[in-house]
Structure 1
């Protein structure tokens, strides 16, 4: 999607479509790669979504076992660091680099499925435990929206998701602005992942002390600062590093914090049903934002599209802060 096919004679990055020009049709290869991304994201997010329940209900471990979640998150982030490095190495070492990246990625995915099937137990809880209750239904999730706190969290998550630009678009803008060669493009997510790994723990502790919803809003403010820096006349490697650090800080302040805030808004016995509307609303909103931003890029160009998204994010953050200012008389 972001770099030209290695077998093509066209430039690695196509120029912006100027104002008034008709957007080109989406190539079939882009749709195929998008389908691959969609499927793999569904797979990984399925595991991430049920991990807390699996650790407690499936493995029979105590909830106060925060190490289990910390180890999982650390290993997940390590994978986010190693993936771009592997792509960079493959691009540097091969002639048909893009095809090789896709092939290596497929092999690693197959290895992940093999580990999942062979090493992850179905259930190791003690045999004398009570049988599990039936899972939450769609009606259970929708019924919980009558709770003002959960309803406001759902609205704010969707509102902010609608104005959060996809990571891929942000990296592509960085590459264009700095005129990076194609083989360096995979290293951009590395900066985000490294910043996230360094800031996740301290910002998580800050959320416990200062309020999870407040940190969630502040994280979007940090992202807005990154957008502004990218739109500024400043250029050079330090600007790229600063944008990536701010991007990683955004994820450290929001990834998991929204779920933690949601957990405090619903009874313990309805955690699964309560997480569904907030998480789904946020994910669907970000998907819609990706579609809208891609169309805006085609019509107006990348910088104008980002400026529009930044203005929309600023408005959304203000509205969300007003919505979450008090919930049932309790400050955020």
Structure 2
């Protein structure tokens, strides 16, 4: 890592992470590791809260599964409403870092507000603001990673970042577990420590991430003499005319409609095994550990075979999670199997999706393009979370999970039919020829 200098000029040559002619992989760009550190520290903070939130809401405040589903939908879906805005603001004038700082700072300020929120509307409002911060920062952060990495190693770059991010997700529940065991007012202590750690993440971002991203060589002019596209919401939406972007976005939406929230997976696993409340916060550790181990290998695999195949394979792992929870088996290996497959699902989909989406999106619209795909996926998961909570309340957890399993099979079949025609691994200079590439 290095201290950022706002006066530094963006690089015009290829990123430092480009492979050498001898075929050996060179080191990834420092920006990738700096942002990985920010995500690691921030995830320690956020996962401390995430690990105890389901139990705090359901057992502590007595919310029904439907009420929790509504809150969880807000938690995961509110960010979708501002991702396009965050991506647009970041692309205008290359303000990726300022927008990211705003997003991280907004989420950090929400942590102590959980201490004051004791009703469903108040908690929903705090979570909505927290997810607004996440929505603002996600696309600019991923754009910084993609702009600092060449297409042939972008999957590895996102894999390294997600591995560092997941290291924080691994530590967060552990810290929450230790605090709950030692503190008298356990939940209050968790929220307070989470706030302090989140502020540290903002500080790392301010000091160690460059103010302007390294950018590739200027885009080639189009046949009509036009240059690179200007950042605007209209230009971002026009990216859907590009076949690869449109198909990938549709696949992400379809599969997101059948992606049950992590919190529901942990609650289902707790009910199957009769896990006590004090051990509940440790369940996300299994998912995080598998994610950490598999993020880089699956990122490299995506660079070789194409992100689409790895992305779809991740949803096959999720289907296996549903199947394992639906069986009557309660053996000792069940939690290890479920959590390992759950982590494999995230390792094969999270960073891989962004690495695949970055290829057909020009650098000038990178944040907007990534936000477009993220928004569709987040809205689909928002709908799934509410629908699953309602189904659980009306019919019970097994019927709700069975319905989600059948829906995932249908959506995966549809996504297979819509799959991109070619692997998405390179960069394109401009979307000006999108009509020629439209299906």
Give me the TM-score of the superposition, normalised by structure 1. Answer: 0.81
Q: Does 1:209 align with 2:304?
A: yes
1:176 aligns with: 271
Check 1:82–1:41 CA distance in 2 against 1; reply closer, same or farther (3 A cut). farther
1:190 aligns with: 285
Q: Does 1:271 align with 2:366?
A: yes
Paired with 1:53 and 1:211, the residues of 2 have a C-alpha distance of 19
Paired with 1:97 and 1:138, the residues of 2 have a C-alpha distance of 44
CA RMSD of aligned residues (A): 3.6
Q: Does 1:112 align with 2:201?
A: yes
Corresponding residue to 2:409 among 314, 327, 332:
314
Q: Following superposition of structure 1 onto structure 2, how do residues 224-243 of structure 1 map, counting pairs within 5 Å?
A: 224-243=319-338
Q: Following superposition of structure 1 onto structure 2, how do residues 51-66 of structure 1 map, counting pairs within 5 Å?
A: 51-54=141-144, 63=150
Task: Give the secondary-structure state (helix, strand or coil) at the position aligned to 2:330.
Answer: coil
Deviation at 1:116, TM superposition (A): 3.6
Check 1:40–1:155 CA distance in 2 against 1; reply closer, same or farther (3 A cut). same
Paired with 2:326 and 2:127, the residues of 1 have a C-alpha distance of 28
Q: Does the 8 A contact of 1:84 with 1:186 survive in 2?
A: yes
Corresponding residue to 1:200 among 283, 292, 295:
295
Deviation at 1:69, TM superposition (A): 5.3
Structure 1, residues 90-110: CA drift from partner, whole Å, max 9, x if none? Answer: 111123322222222222223
Q: Does 1:39 align with 2:129?
A: yes
Corresponding residue to 2:163 among 46, 62, 74:
74
Paired with 2:149 and 2:333, the residues of 1 have a C-alpha distance of 45
Which segments of 5 or more consecutive residues in structure 2 lack a partner in the other structure? 1-52, 72-116, 219-227, 424-436
Paired with 1:24 and 1:78, the residues of 2 have a C-alpha distance of 27
Paired with 1:295 and 1:248, the residues of 2 have a C-alpha distance of 26
Paired with 1:211 and 1:204, the residues of 2 have a C-alpha distance of 10
Deviation at 1:181, TM superposition (A): 1.1
Check 1:111–1:274 CA distance in 2 against 1; reply closer, same or farther (3 A cut). closer
Q: Which range moves more in the overlay, 164-173 or 63-72?
A: 63-72
Q: Does the 8 A contact of 2:247 with 2:420 survive in 1?
A: no
Structure 1, residues 201-234: CA drift from partner, whole Å, max 9, x if none? Answer: 2111222222211211111111001100011011
Structure 1, residues 11-69: CA drift from partner, whole Å, max 9, x if none? Answer: 6797988xxx9999989634434444443344345444223543687xxx674786875
Which segments of 5 or more consecutive residues in structure 1 lack a partner in the other structure? none
Q: Which range moves more in the overlay, 308-317 or 90-99?
A: 90-99
1:50 aligns with: 140
Q: Which range moves more in the overlay, 90-99 or 235-244?
A: 90-99
Check 1:122–1:310 CA distance in 2 against 1; reply closer, same or farther (3 A cut). same
Corresponding residue to 2:316 among 207, 212, 221:
221
Paired with 1:56 and 1:4, the residues of 2 have a C-alpha distance of 37
Deviation at 1:152, TM superposition (A): 1.6
Give me the TM-score of the superposition, normalised by structure 2. Answer: 0.63
Deviation at 1:278, TM superposition (A): 1.4
Check 1:208–1:69 CA distance in 2 against 1; reply closer, same or farther (3 A cut). closer
Task: Give the secondary-structure state (helix, strand or coil) at the position aligned to 1:237.
Answer: coil
Check 1:205–1:160 CA distance in 2 against 1; reply closer, same or farther (3 A cut). same
Structure 1, residues 153-197: CA drift from partner, whole Å, max 9, x if none? Answer: 111111111110011111111111111111111111111010001
Task: Give the secondary-structure state (helix, strand or coil) at the position aligned to 1:164.
Answer: coil
Paired with 2:283 and 2:194, the residues of 1 have a C-alpha distance of 18
2:54 aligns with: 2
2:38 aligns with: none
Corresponding residue to 1:298 among 359, 381, 393:
393
Task: Give the secondary-structure state (helix, strand or coil) at the position aligned to 1:257.
Answer: helix
- For these two proteins, the number of residue pairs brought into alignment is 315
Q: Following superposition of structure 1 onto structure 2, how do residues 10-159 of structure 1 map, counting pairs within 5 Å?
A: 29-44=119-134, 46-54=136-144, 63=150, 72-117=161-206, 120=209, 122-123=211-212, 136-159=231-254
Check 1:28–1:289 CA distance in 2 against 1; reply closer, same or farther (3 A cut). farther
Paired with 1:249 and 1:82, the residues of 2 have a C-alpha distance of 18
Paired with 2:182 and 2:119, the residues of 1 have a C-alpha distance of 24
